[in-house]
A and B are shown apart, each in its own frame.
Chain A
Amino acid sequence: MSEQISALMDEEIAVEDAAHLISSMQSSKQSADAWSQYNLIGDVMRGNQLLSKDFKQNLMLKLDQEPTVLAPKSAQSNAEKVAGLKDKLPAKWSIAASVAAVMVVGWMAMHQVQSENEAPAIEMAQADVVEQAIPNEYMAAHQSSAPSATSYYIQSVSYAE
């Protein structure tokens, strides 16, 4: 079980093949313990010297050599298409630098499997009349790929709350 969780983290098991693992993980205490083990590993990698220096170096080296795509492959995605496009996609996630953030996102990605049927539609609001002058769909696309310094925090596109 622990090995499976580890494999899941390393993407050796596709998330869609691991539904049983995820659901049992949520119930089983052993799995929850395994999960905290991985968080402990995170602590170690952040510099708490609980293991030998070589362990950390070796692990970091291995992780460095293996860039990991963080987001799980969508269950619906066409495997061939994804494979063909993957090399062109930018910004792959390396988990070497910070296990902490990766853990959290990984955990969330698992939760996503539960709620994948209610995937988020981009809900546009009618809140702001003036902002409607520029169609929200273009504003959203522009800000997601070419954000200004303030648009990370202030969204001109208003979403229904």
Chain B
Amino acid sequence: MKHFVLAGSFASASLIAALLTSFNVWSSEQDSWQVLQKAAIAARALSYKGVFVCQSAKQIKSVEITHLYDGQHEFARNVVLDGAPREVLNQSGNVVIYNPRNGKIVIEKRRAQNMFPAILPTDLNSIKASYSLRSGEIERIAGRTAQMLVLEPKDNLRYSYRFWIDTEYGLLLKSVMFNNRNETLESIGFNQLALMNTVELDWFKPKIDHNKSYVMEQEQELIADAGSPIDWEIKALPPGYRKVDQMMRKVQGKSGPVTHVIFSDGLAFVSLFIEHVAKPTKEKPTPKNVLTTTGNTSFYANVNSGHLVTVMGDVPEATVVQIANAVVFKK
């Protein structure tokens, strides 16, 4: 009888333990998503100043960032400290780049979508659908204590990431992207950081070089075309990817405008270009299909029903091929 009671209490204890463990796993993943959510907001809603280093396959550049949120608007000035003094000014998502080029400063206008440390969207649902998240070690980054998080794709159609998040400020301190063979593709992280307690904006202007002429970049985008395509449609996109933008644009060296469609899974961005190709002649045969990867970027071009379809992005090759194959031309 005593044995039975013991066995029974042991059984219920292990049941409770099992429940607790699974709850802990669940709650720790929930906690990690909360940390990530906080990081997405902190990057936009905190005021801070620091230096971060970005590293791609070939280059390393240090960037000085000053970021201010005044309660309504976001202002950021990023100055590249190594090499040409490129400056990137961001005002609530509108980006102006002062790009020294050929003895001039070319002014380029862009829209911000993933400027470090705000590389995560504030709505993480699309990321949750395609990636799983777990917490790693506590590590020290830029003199700060950081929680490491590992974001892994649920399939082979995107890369994995490690994020280091300041345990006190909640700010993303470092992000590293890995390919499917666990090789580092790019890394971007602070090596010094301090919060700012100011609303002054006297720093929010580029340093002007009066000896250089400033010219606006030629407009590349012709039409922000949200309308439905005329002679093609997109079917069966790879899971997790959705269309985020579509436009007609000029592409250097192309006579006509090119349709440019952008897809994203929340973190990775993929471009699709569609253009007419002339009927093949002896002198100009049909272009060959190309599948290549340079650094982080996969590139695929093929000819489909008299159109050149080109797809590229910081994603595995399988993804660009699937997106190209999702384009169906109406006969």
Q: Which residues of A contact B (CB under 8 A)?
A: 46-47, 71, 74, 85, 88-91, 93, 97-98, 100-101, 103-105, 108-109, 111-112, 114-115, 118-124, 128, 130-131, 133-134, 136-142, 144-150, 152-154, 156, 159-161
**B113: shortest Cβ distance to chain A, in Å?**
7
| Contact present for B271 and A145 (CB under 8 Å) | yes
Stretch from B16-24, B90-98, B137-145 that touches the partner = B90-98
User: A98 to B271, alpha carbons, bound, how many Å?
Assistant: 32
Is residue B236 contacting chain A, with contact meaning CB distance below 8 A?
Answer: no
| Contact present for B91 and A97 (CB under 8 Å) | yes
A153-B216 CB under 8 A given contacts A146-B271, A147-B114, A159-B102: no
A91-B93 CB under 8 A given contacts A85-B223, A149-B54, A153-B54: yes
| Contact present for A120 and B101 (CB under 8 Å) | yes
| Contact present for B218 and A122 (CB under 8 Å) | yes
| Contact present for B86 and A104 (CB under 8 Å) | no
| Contact present for A141 and B78 (CB under 8 Å) | no
Give me 23 A-to-B residue pairs in the complex whose CB atoms sit less than 8 angstroms apart, sorted by A's number. A47-B199, A71-B216, A100-B202, A103-B205, A104-B206, A108-B107, A108-B214, A109-B216, A112-B216, A120-B101, A120-B217, A120-B218, A121-B218, A138-B273, A141-B271, A142-B271, A144-B220, A145-B247, A146-B245, A146-B264, A149-B115, A153-B80, A154-B54
**B158: shortest Cβ distance to chain A, in Å?**
13
Other than the given A85-B224, A149-B186, A154-B56, 4 more pairs (CB < 8 A) read A85-B222, A111-B213, A138-B273, A150-B54
- Closest A residue to B262 by beta carbon equals A146
User: A63 to B55, alpha carbons, bound, how many Å?
Assistant: 40
| Contact present for A101 and B91 (CB under 8 Å) | yes
Query: B residues within 8 A CB of A130?
Result: 294
| Contact present for B188 and A150 (CB under 8 Å) | yes
- Closest A residue to B264 by beta carbon equals A146
**B279: shortest Cβ distance to chain A, in Å?**
22
Stretch from B29-37, B122-130, B147-155, B310-318 that touches the partner = B310-318
User: A93 to B2, alpha carbons, bound, how many Å?
Assistant: 79
Is residue B208 contacting chain A, with contact meaning CB distance below 8 A?
Answer: yes
| Contact present for A101 and B205 (CB under 8 Å) | yes
- Closest A residue to B110 by beta carbon equals A144
Select one of B86, B217, B273, B312 contacting A134, CB under 8 A. B312
